[in-house]
Amino acid sequence: MKSDIEIAQAAALKPILQVSSKLDLNSDDLIPYGQYIAKLSAACIQKLQTQADGQLILVTAISPTPAGEGKTTTTIGLADALNQVLADKNQHAMVCMREPSLGPVFGLKGGATGGGYSQVVPMEDINLHFTGDFHAISSANNLLAALIDNHIYQGNALDINPASITWRRCMDMNDRALRDITLNSRNKAGSFFDRQTGFDITVASEVMAIFCLATSLSDLQTRLGNIQIGLTSANKPVLASDLQAEGAMTALLKNAFQPNVVQTLEHTAALVHGGPFANIAHGCNSVAATKAALKLADFVVTEAGFGADLGAEKFIDIKCRKTGLQPAAVVLVATVRALKYHGGVDITSLNQENLTALKSGTANLKKHIENLQQHFGLKVVVAINHFLSDTEAEIALLSTVAASFGVKAIVCKHWANGGAGAIDLAHEVIRMTEQPTKSFKLLYPDEMPLLEKIETIAQKIYGASHVELSLEAQTALAKLEKNYSHYPVCIAKTQYSFSSDPTLRGAPTAHVLKVRQLRLSRGAEFIVAICGDIMTMPGLPKQPVSERIGVNQAGSIVGLN
Amino acid sequence: MKSDIEIAQAAALKPILQVSSKLDLNSDDLIPYGQYIAKLSAACIQKLQTQADGQLILVTAISPTPAGEGKTTTTIGLADALNQVLADKNQHAMVCMREPSLGPVFGLKGGATGGGYSQVVPMEDINLHFTGDFHAISSANNLLAALIDNHIYQGNALDINPASITWRRCMDMNDRALRDITLNSRNKAGSFFDRQTGFDITVASEVMAIFCLATSLSDLQTRLGNIQIGLTSANKPVLASDLQAEGAMTALLKNAFQPNVVQTLEHTAALVHGGPFANIAHGCNSVAATKAALKLADFVVTEAGFGADLGAEKFIDIKCRKTGLQPAAVVLVATVRALKYHGGVDITSLNQENLTALKSGTANLKKHIENLQQHFGLKVVVAINHFLSDTEAEIALLSTVAASFGVKAIVCKHWANGGAGAIDLAHEVIRMTEQPTKSFKLLYPDEMPLLEKIETIAQKIYGASHVELSLEAQTALAKLEKNYSHYPVCIAKTQYSFSSDPTLRGAPTAHVLKVRQLRLSRGAEFIVAICGDIMTMPGLPKQPVSERIGVNQAGSIVGLN
């Protein structure tokens, strides 16, 4: 069996200009980065404003398990399948997804560009640096950090309280040792003072969240200026704009802000742009890319991070709320293996048929379906991402159970067969978009108080009995309700369970959501509610994937997944 | 008077393909990054190997002063002038220079792409991110750092002594607060241990030096593997290859390793690639770029960092030694203002005519000329980079004095007039390359012991009476002489004086070069001798240039110099 990188490197790519010409893009619209990667120029995006929007298809998943679900491959495979189905209608589908982070590339995953015959390419370039967007985001984040410490060093005219500074530096790397650091600084007079701080991985930077929510360069600049970095000695907020940082930060992000165009193995155009964490941020690609894609294609297949409880909820309540975007249909990805895992099967026994466990595990699937249908008014289809170990009895059972939940479950084999493996799913998606629309709705209105928003998500989406706030969170809440009550909340909790306990599989009920901390993302315009320990700087494993990555004699990169 | 960025943005750039076509490059040879920037493909560089080499013209300068000398503008202006002179001969000149670092762009300088009518463009892109080379170098540097700390965390199978680790992290930013940091780490069992380390600016990373000295991707990988990061508990060297880091580091650098092609305001092609510090490293653009440029053009104008005592000496004794490169002529840049400063005039009085101070200051010029002629066997011409405050009497005096030193001094007005302002210099450079060659020589042979190498540089080039080593340096020397005696030495001292005291202007003699520390750059293959305090992570000034950098309503970047 070929590895992902072998499949990708064996593929005959088309020049990106040729791929894009199907979407009526020409060379003036694209800024090339080599022959197979381009950015969609700011001028082109401006020009597209008058076009009608296509249909937005959201791909999400059951609660993630170590068994793997395949959300990205399904996103890519579905778009390829749609293009096969739409070929004689002169309609087009495209992909809209997040950029990979270098951290996981060198750590465990070795890549984040799909897999098998559902990949975006050139995979080596997309996984390594790509067009430099994440580096630009790191630079903007770290320029602000340097300006803060320099301001204090140079006399601290703003009277920033060093202990109050919440702005951290970032790096696009899994570097555990940078989580907690002490800056051994001196002031200008030469006397020492220490400051505790640390690095987050770039995808966890508020600059990343802002980059992905901003609707224009000027909106980007305004939001960057609105970042709150800490407090004065008199507890007044200090903003990035107080340090005159937002202009240079925007200049650093200007080129990056233009969405990247690549192709799938079947030459479907894909916008791959931005990639915030799905815990302390909203976890989906940039608004700029999604909006541009809707102007360019009849169907845009996009994905949200983690499971539907986190990714889809935030996609809707944060991204759609601010931008007016509306998914026309939702694809909920599940695997027989992952559902058996949710049904209690050990990770080592997933290859054995187990109908009882599968049935039990569908509780997780059911809750996600209900959430999407009832709370968001969305049409849902289940994509069963096929594994060789799936038995016919298991597939049949899963289809029957899904039908009992009122949705179709369609077996997809795009990993092995590309778009041809997801034709049935494509037909169903098209059919769904032709049906009368359900009434799409947000989970809560802007004017609902923050605590009530958290409770609404916890009870309706997670199945929690109630919410408990730590003392710290209670104190923070009182302050935040005053000025930021109208912001949506972004819940940072484990992705592995509906609850905040990662070991509770299936669809736990009557659990308590414990909120440890509330954080203001003033530039991104949401409140982060942190439940449990949330890692914003991952570490490398004992045997990092990097050990096998290299360049061979022919000058090709090897060792990526 | 227009600012540099206003001149650059008003210029009508030609597509880089058109600029390159004069050098017989076609679209297959270039990897475009937008319309005006490209990389020279690895395949193209391979193809060029059979071509004959052009003439290499090295631009260097007197000891730098706050008055400014204009080495980069002279490099660019001379190449433009050469192309005007060579237009009817079907010969071509090109520029080969370093990439700007983001640190100085946001700090004091606001850009490093020349000035006035001698600039490389698009200046905003070159100054901000460019093609991402420095980010790739930062990533490679920091991946190695993450692998080191992860190795210790995961059990430290190599028995690395944490206190011995010399490998630091890096960032392309002026961030004083990161100079000295404590990693507040835990081991896997959860117990705390602290480790002192810090960040350097990316141009100070050994990866940058290696990147600029490597002759091929495989040489790059070998050198990266050879980096020594610290010692085991038994004092045995630990290399990057012991951590299996070099493959992934090379993969990160693969695209970056291809030289960047841009143009001057007069459409002269310029390779802008790499940029190591000129103190703890050798301070010139990549070997890959210089070698490619010599295949492409009849004349390649390149520059070395700082003054000729540091930059030109390292260009010859480190870069030329390893690669067989030989400058055909040297342009030594001086200004009347800077020479008056060397003659003792205060920075505030440089606009007043002062023939006595000028004459006295030429001692600095004389010593650089003698060094280049006598110790390296090079032909030298002085370029007087003209300022409006220069008087005719000053220019006349300087020409006379230069003649008494046996060289021509030619007034250049390329800053104001572009290539047309450096025509006389271009003619003289061509004339020099047509004269019989002097016998080019390195300052010392490989087999000379390290201490003697340091003494040779100190006495012959700097005019020192002798060298003194600290106890630490003596201990290090004894060890280094055993295995690395054949390496060249890279002296890290102030650029402002021939001595290690930055306040000693002119041409001080009988000073003592005090070597505080010796460091092994095992991948770069040189020994760094540190004299005095050398800053490897600069800080921002009280009013950083970043405060006025931004993006205007039209989407253009403003505020760069």
Closest CA to B195 of B255, B260, B148: B148
A303 plus A206 within the same structural domain: no
What range does the domain containing B412 cover?
Answer: 53-115+280-434
Biggest CA–CA distance in chain A, Å, is 76
| A101 and A143 fall within a common domain | no
Q: Could you tell me if A290 and A423 lie in one domain?
A: yes
Reference B513, options B561, B447, B457, B431; nearest CA is B457
Q: Quick check: B437 pLDDT over 90?
A: no
Nearest by CB to B143, from A106, A147, A557: name it.
Answer: A106
Q: What is the DSSP string of B466-498?
A: EEEE-HHHHHHHHHHHHHHTTS-EEEE--SSSS
- Give the least confident one: A180-189, A454-463, B229-238, B530-539: A180-189
How far does the CA of residue A421 sit from the closest CA of chain B (Å)? 33
Q: Please pick, among A11, A39, A61, A71, the residue that the annotation labels catalytic.
A: A71
On whether the CB atoms of residues B66 and B342 are closer than 8 A, the answer is no
Helix (H, G, I), strand (E, B) or coil at A279: coil
Query: Does the annotation list B307 as a binding residue?
Result: no
Structural domain contains residue B8 = no
CB contact under 8 A, A139 and B146: no
pLDDT of residue B308: 96
Q: Which residues, other chains included, contact A56 with Cβ-Cβ below 8 Å and sequence gap of 6+?
A: A290, A294, A300, A302, A325, A326, A327, A328
Which residue from A110, A181, A517 is spatially nearest to B199, judged by alpha carbons? A181
Inter-residue contact B137 to B253 (CB < 8 Å) = yes
Tokens of B9: 């943005």
What would the two tokens of residue A206 be? 């508020």
Please report whether residue B454 resides in a domain.
Answer: yes
Question: Does the annotation count B73 as an active-site position?
Answer: yes
Is B40 near chain A, with CB under 8 Å? no
B28 lies within 8 A of chain A by CB: no
Q: How confident is the model at residue B373 (pLDDT cuts 50, 70, 90)?
A: very high
Question: Quick check: B248 and A150 CB within 8 A?
Answer: no
Instruction: Classify residue A1: in a domain, yes or no.
Output: no
A210 shares its domain with A159: yes
Which one-letter amino acid corresponds to residue B396? A
Q: Are B339 and B361 in contact (CB under 8 A)?
A: yes
Task: Give the pLDDT confidence score for residue A383 in this predicted structure.
Answer: 98
Do B405 and B477 belong together in one domain? no
Q: Is B362 annotated as a binding residue?
A: no
| Ligand-binding site membership of B66 (annotated) | yes
pLDDT score, position B227: 98
For residues A548 and B29, give the distance between their C-alpha atoms in angstroms, rounded to a whole number.
30
Q: Are residues A317 and A235 in the same domain?
A: no
DSSP state for residue A360 in the 8-state scheme = H
For chain A, the domain total comes to: 3
B559 in contact with A, Cβ within 8 Å: yes
Q: CB-based contact (8 Å) between B533 and chain A?
A: no
Q: Does the residue B541 lie in any domain?
A: no
Q: Which residues of A fall within a CB distance of 8 Å from B183?
A: 177-178, 180-181
Q: Examine the pLDDT at B30 and tell me if it is beyond 80.
A: yes
Same domain, A488 and A399: no
User: For residue A426, is it within any domain?
Assistant: yes
Residues 212-231 of B with CB under 8 A from A: 217-218, 221
Q: Does A546 touch chain B (CB under 8 A)?
A: yes
> What's the rounded Cα separation, in Å, for the pair B210 and B535?
20
Q: Is A548 within 8 Å of chain B by CB?
A: yes
Per-residue pLDDT of chain A (561 residues; tens, 9 = 90+): 788 999 999 999 999 999 999 999 999 999 999 999 999 999 999 999 999 999 999 999 999 988 778 999 999 999 999 999 999 999 999 999 999 999 888 887 767 899 999 999 999 999 999 999 999 999 999 999 999 999 999 999 999 999 999 999 999 999 999 999 999 987 777 777 899 999 999 999 999 999 999 999 999 999 999 999 999 999 999 999 999 999 999 999 999 999 999 999 999 999 999 999 999 999 999 999 999 999 999 999 999 989 999 999 999 999 999 899 999 999 999 999 999 999 999 999 999 999 999 999 999 999 999 999 999 999 999 999 999 999 999 999 999 999 999 999 999 999 999 999 999 999 999 999 998 877 899 999 999 999 999 999 999 999 999 999 999 999 999 999 999 999 999 999 999 999 999 999 999 999 999 999 999 999 999 999 999 888 999 999 999 999 999 999 888 999 887
pLDDT at B180: 96
Residue B111: what pLDDT?
A: 76
List the alpha helices (DSSP H) in A374-529.
392-404, 414-417, 423-434, 450-456, 471-484
B-proximal residues of A, 276-315, CB under 8 Å: none
Helices B392-404 and B355-370: crossing angle in degrees, nearest 10, is 30
Work out the angle between the directed axes of helices A217-226 and A246-253 (0-180°, nearest 10). Answer: 140
- Do A462 and A391 lie in a common domain? no
Mean pLDDT of chain B: 95
Same domain, B344 and B469: no
- B110 belongs to a structural domain: yes
**In the predicted structure, residue B108 carries a pLDDT above the cut 80:** no
Query: Tell me, what CATH number does A234's domain have?
Result: 3.30.1510.10
Among B32, B138, B182, select the one facing A182 at the smallest CB separation. B182
Is A295 annotated as ligand-binding? Answer: no
pLDDT band at B110 (very low <50, low <70, confident <90, very high): low
Query: Binding residue per annotation — B198?
Result: no
- A85 in a domain, yes or no? yes
The torsion angle over the Cα atoms of residues B34, B35, B39 and B41, rounded to 10 degrees, is: 110
The predicted pLDDT at position A110 comes to 66
Let me know how long chain A is. Answer: 561
| Cβ-Cβ contacts under 8 Å, A544 against chain B | 147, 150
- DSSP lists the bridge partners of residue A526 as A521
Residues A71, A168, single domain; the answer is no
How confident is residue B132, by pLDDT bands cut at 50, 70 and 90? very high
Same domain membership, residue B521 and residue B475: yes
**Within this chain, do residues A346 and A413 fall inside the same structural domain, yes or no?**
yes
State the CATH number of the domain containing residue A493: 3.10.410.10
**Within-domain flag for B44:** no
Ramachandran angles phi, psi of B515, nearest 5°: -95, 115
B174 touches chain A (CB under 8 A): yes
Rounded to whole angstroms, the Cα distance separating B181 from B194 reads 10
